[in-house]
Amino acid sequence: MKRKISRRRFLSSAVAAVAAPYVVPGSALGLNGATAPSERITAAGIGIRGRGMHDLRWMIQHKDVQVLAICDVTKKQRESVKAFVDDHYGNNDCAMYRDIREFLAERADIDAVLIATGDRWHAPASIMAMRAGKDVFTEKPSCMTIAEGRAVLETARRYGRVYQTGTQRLSEANHVFCIEMARTGRLGKVHTAYAHIAPWDTAKMGHKWLPAQKEPPKEEIDWDIWLGPCPWRPFNRRYVEGGWRGDYDFHTSCIGEWGAHTFAQAQAGLEVDGMPPVKYEYVDNDSGDGMVCHFANGQKMILSRGDKYWYGSCGERFDGDLGWVAAADGYSMPDASSPELLADYKKVIGEYVARTGRTIDHMRNFLDCVKSREQPVANAEVMHYSMLTVHAANICMWLERDMTFDPATEMFVNDDEANRLRSRAQREPWVL
Cα separation, 164 vs 136, in Å, equals 6
Cα separation, 40 vs 66, in Å, equals 7
Say what angle helices 253-270 and 173-183 make with each other, to 10 degrees: 50
Angle at 426 between CA 421 and CA 428, to 5 degrees: 165
Sequence length of the chain is 432
C-beta separation of 216 from 235 below 8 A:
yes
Listed by start position, the domains of the chain span 26-168, 169-203+251-420
Please give the C-alpha separations between residue 332 and each of 172, 178, 410, in angstroms, as whole numbers. Answer: 12, 13, 39
The CATH number for 26-168, chosen from 3.90.105.10, 1.10.40.30, 3.40.50.720, 3.40.225.10, is 3.40.50.720
Is this model's pTM higher than 0.75 or not? yes
Please give the pLDDT value at position 274.
87
From first to last of the 432 residues of the chain, give the pLDDT tens digit: 344 455 445 444 444 444 444 444 445 455 555 676 778 999 999 999 999 999 999 999 999 999 999 999 999 999 999 999 999 999 999 999 999 999 999 999 999 999 999 999 999 999 999 999 999 999 999 999 999 999 999 999 999 999 999 999 999 999 999 999 999 999 999 999 999 999 999 999 999 999 999 999 999 999 999 999 999 999 999 999 999 999 999 999 999 999 999 999 999 999 998 899 999 999 999 999 999 999 999 999 999 999 999 999 999 999 999 999 999 999 999 999 999 999 999 999 999 999 999 999 999 999 999 999 999 999 999 999 999 999 999 999 999 999 999 999 999 999 999 999 999 999 999 998
Please give the pLDDT value at position 16.
45
Tell me which architecture the domain covering 169-203+251-420 has in CATH: 2-Layer Sandwich (3.30)
Please give the pLDDT value at position 432.
83
- Exposed/middle/buried for residue 329 (C-beta within 10 Å: 0-12, 13-18, 19+): middle
Angle at 54 between CA 175 and CA 247, to 5 degrees: 85
Q: Are strands 292-294 and 279-280 parallel, antiparallel or unpaired?
A: antiparallel
Please give the pLDDT value at position 30.
55
C-beta separation of 154 from 133 below 8 A:
no
Please give the pLDDT value at position 18.
43
- For residue 429, is the peptide bond before it cis, meaning its omega torsion is within 30 degrees of 0? yes
Residue 49 is given by DSSP the state S
Judged by phi (left if over 0) then psi (alpha if -120 to 50, else beta), residue 211 lies in beta
Cα separation, 37 vs 39, in Å, equals 5
Angle at 19 between CA 13 and CA 21, to 5 degrees: 120
Phi, psi of 377 (to 5 degrees): -65, -35
Cα separation, 378 vs 168, in Å, equals 8
- Number of C-beta neighbours around residue 102 at 10 A: 11
Query: What one-letter code names the amino acid at 11?
Result: L
Please give the pLDDT value at position 10.
42
